[in-house]
Amino acid sequence: MLRKKGFWIAVVVIALVGIGGYFIYTTQTAEADSAETSNAVQTSPVRQGDITISATGAGTVIPATEIDVSFQSSGILQELLVRVGDEVVAGDVLARLDDTDAQHAVVSAELQLAQAIMQTESDATAAGVSYNDIAIEQARLNLEDAQAALAELRNWEPDEDEIALAEAAVAAAQAGYNAALGQESASYNSIQVQAINLEQAQRDLEDAQAAYDTAYDPARDWELVDSRTADRFEAERDAAVRNLQRAQDNLDIAQANYNSTVSSSNSSSSKNAENNVLSAQLALQAALEGPTSDEIAAAESAVRQAELNYQQALLNEEADEINLQQAQLNLEAAQEALAQTTLIAPGDGVVLSIAGNVGEVVSAGSFITVANLNRPMIELYLDETDLDKVGMDYEVDVIFNALPDETFAGTVVQVDPQLYNESGITAVRAVVQLDNFNKQQTLPIGMNATVDVIGGRAVNALLVPVEALREISPGQFAVFVMVDGEPELRFVEVGLKDFTFAEILSGVELGETVTTGIIETQ
């Protein structure tokens, strides 16, 4: 209730202030009118016409879009398919670098990916199983074998059949050892006999050689001259030759027999047989006593090693999955690098610049600039005092210095949120897009123009001179209308206003006369 009471008090106060102000204003106006009447009040008719509020600035043509097409890495320019000024459409090939290294990189990445796939994916191999599957299964089987061996040692119990077999093996080994000893003894006797025969054959050869030397002693050649001894001497010599040859043959035979007997004897047979006895005895002891603590410890160690191998196989599988992903990424990167050796037009436009020629080494970075010139844009600068006269979608009139006889329409499509500052001069920067530009030629970038930004426009509006306006309060205006030769105060709604005329939206009619003060306005 108190709030409502306060509200009505405020309304009454405002009303009283308004009435008081109007009274003071009418009193002052009456006094002024009396003075003006004595000085002949000046008037102007309410007329119909156009009014435009605008701000003028300098502009230059800029492309609607300007894109720098770049190589991602340096290389030798192998092919250049466009020239400056050429029109291109999106997807056109503009230039190519030498892609030999990039091709090799793709092939290498494909091979690495194929290997990674075979390592991890079973359907990639002819056998239908991957390398990792094989490794894991083998490690699992080894672990099971080691665990089974350990369990068998821990759960050992004497086996009567095994003991009987071990005892029989000991007996057989002992018999074999005895037989080997007997065979070695017989072989020794045979060797001794053959050695004696060899020595006898050597002595017989020596005797036959001595008889031969005696028969052929030159000192006995006289016996050949004596007819009484010649026949006997010849017979002696023939016998000496035959005996010497026979003795040599007997020696060779004795040597061969000796060598044969020695080589056929096996001095290690008894040693092997003895080892067999020891092994059989150890086997019998194992069958009687079971595994030793060292054997159980060794089996436990084998199980731990098998477990580690199995876990390692599983970890290798996970690592190979990562390697597969890395190989896929490497292939994608290699393919991307290969694709980047070719420059593709990202959109429609005209080639503005090219930064190299075929055969030259081109660095990474901007190489070709493509701009869209089909829809001309104007970069506009206005004085900062005209900030209130420019905004998004405002209409503009453009006159190019090179085309002074034509006026082109456009629309403001961008107003920068911060002022442009150059050499201490601040300005408002805006971008204008021309409407329905139908010239055959494109406008050169950088072409200068004068741009009028239309802050407001009224056509066939009711207009009065600005001198006719009386500002009653901020934003509230009135005019004096001549009625029967006397000025009558009327409140009016004002629209656009420039330095000369004001648009009247309501309060007066066309053809009525308003006072303008002491200066007549035609």
Q: Tens digit of pLDDT for each residue in 172-225?
A: 888 887 777 777 777 777 778 878 888 998 998 899 898 888 888 888 777 777
Dihedrals phi, psi of 181, to nearest 5 degrees: -65, -40
Instruction: Give the single-character DSSP code of 442.
Output: P
Q: Residue range 245-249: average pLDDT?
A: 90
Which pLDDT belongs to residue 266?
58
Looking at every residue in the chain, the average pLDDT score rounds to 83
Which pLDDT belongs to residue 419?
92
Q: Are 514 and 478 in contact (CB under 8 A)?
A: no
Q: Are 467 and 521 in contact (CB under 8 A)?
A: yes
Query: Is residue 313 over pLDDT 50?
Result: yes
How far, in Å, CA of 519 to CA of 38, rounded?
Answer: 14
Which pLDDT belongs to residue 441?
66
Dihedrals phi, psi of 399, to nearest 5 degrees: -125, 120
C-alpha distance from residue 145 to each of 140, 220, 231 (Å): 9, 93, 94
Note the pTM of the prediction, 2 decimals. 0.45
- Please give the order of strands across the beta sheet that includes 342-344: 342-344, 93-97, 75-80, 361-362
